[in-house]
Structure 1
Amino acid sequence: MKRWVVLVHGGAGEINNLTPERERNCRQWLRKAVEEAASVLSVGGRSLDAVVAAVRILEDSGAFNAGRGSVRNRDGLVEMDAAVMDGASRCAGAVAAVSSLRNPVLAARLVAERSPHVLLVADGAEAFAFAHGADHVSPEYFCTPPFSNAEDTIGAVALDIYGNLAAATSTGGMARKLPGRVGDSPLIGAGTYADNRSCAVSTTGIGEYFIRTVAAYSVHARLLWAQLSLEQAARNVLEEVSSLGGSGGLIAVDAEGNSVALCTSPAMYRAIGTSDGHILTAIFRDEPWRAD
């Protein structure tokens, strides 16, 4: 059987007050997300199903800035973004500035598969998702305090046994952002991209810089046309983000099963699972993968 691989991230940024309890909790959720994706991939499931399953776990966890754990905007309200992309067809879907969807990643997939569009926003995105069976939640569902400083994003990339790549990204955005602000996560090519010819990418960090560098697509372009390795391409893109004053990280997997998880910020919550049965996690920038 051909090999498969999945990576997830729980956001990149500063690590403030990371207690041993929170570290254990985050590693456990990252591992659980990889296990969920692995349960799909190990039985011949599609990479798109795997990344959506992983991101859904992290959205529901409340441990990261996405889904239930989303931060609040300047007015104290939650506005979430998400995107998915299938590398086989380059079919993509995204939602932005949604406030009452339990799982924005599922809504993004609905946009990809049930509409002729790629991106729907705000009330229109919610109406579409609810019409297609998405779960509604009240403001009380979200577990973050009004002025949480979390800046994380969550995401997943995967290669299945058929050689198909996929990516998914979800976020609550920037804490205390202006109402209506949309970051890179739901923008195809900026925060999320997948193409079977090259790689699947999910980014995290200060979104404005990843938009300006079209970061996820730029990794793809360096692989496909500049013939760089996945690691070289990812490092080059993060260097470009840094040159503009931004910081963050990304996870990526290429069509050969090579993978990277890199960041320029002090830390990026991340985990990897492969067809050899190993699940490994890491948090700090230079921390090697470890089994928990």
Structure 2
Amino acid sequence: MTTALTATTSPVARTPRGPRGLIWAVLRVHRTALILWGLALVAATAVLIWMSAIADDARPAYGGCAEPPTDGLPSCSAIEAITADDIYSDGIALITTALSWVIFPVAAWAGGALIGRELENGTARLAWTQSVSPTRWLAAKLAVPAVLLTAGTGTVLLLNLWARGDDNPNLVGDWYGPDQFTGIGPVAVASALAGLALGALAGLLWRRALPAAGAGLVAALLLYNTLEYYREDFWPTVTRAEKGEFELPRSAWQTHWGWTWDGDVGEGTPLTTAAFHPQSHFWPLQYVETGILLAVAAAATAAAFWLLRRRTP
């Protein structure tokens, strides 16, 4: 009697080769950054929901008052006792500043952990030997965080706009402030993508984690400060000239103030001249700066792929 033996073979583990496998590989390798990003989004969401809940208590702090209270106005002592306005202003400022500065940690992380470290310790080259081309490797490295950054930053941005309510400048700051301008429009999302691309390019240039992180951060700082310096020139200003002194509304971003003459100097009438951006210029300025940031991101991404092809077989 013979016993038929059936040979069983265990399936051979294979490295995922498709785009889906690369996506999961990126998420698994950088799960710490993913967790921190998720916690940051949850914290920002909680703060903004809280700010929206106390907004109605904060607004009366900048309303009218009378002592004793008359004509429907509250007493001035009651207004002075309100503390919700400080909590609200600080909370909104915290989230707005975080959105404005997101470019910096993103650029440093992309240069150091995302690209530089994997080139330095040989992880990238190991992936290239497993039927994953360098181009596909870099595409996955950039696409996955780009999607997460766009979704996360965009969500917090929309929540921030919702929590700001009527945009009372006494509570949330003037729209043209450096942090406020960057943190309340599409510039916030575009700056995060620019930071990602600049950091990735720095990682491919230096191929070591620490120098690449520093280079990415420096590039982000230069871009941020350059845009802030030239922002007022991204759209033509409005000029106002009148006899004597006058004041611009608080919503106007004043860029120039001086004197001019209506006619020949010494014979004409001196005029006070002001150049400014009215609040209606917010969106044109946002669109121009967003376009610049996206162009920088596209150029840095193209340079990164070109450099990768030059340095790999």
Taking structure 2 as the reference length, the TM-score comes to 0.27
Q: Which has the higher contact order (CA 8 A, sep 6+)?
A: 1
User: Whose strand proportion is higher, 1 or 2?
Assistant: 1
Taking structure 1 as the reference length, the TM-score comes to 0.28
User: Whose helix proportion is higher, 1 or 2?
Assistant: 2
Q: Larger radius of gyration, structure 1 or 2? A: 2
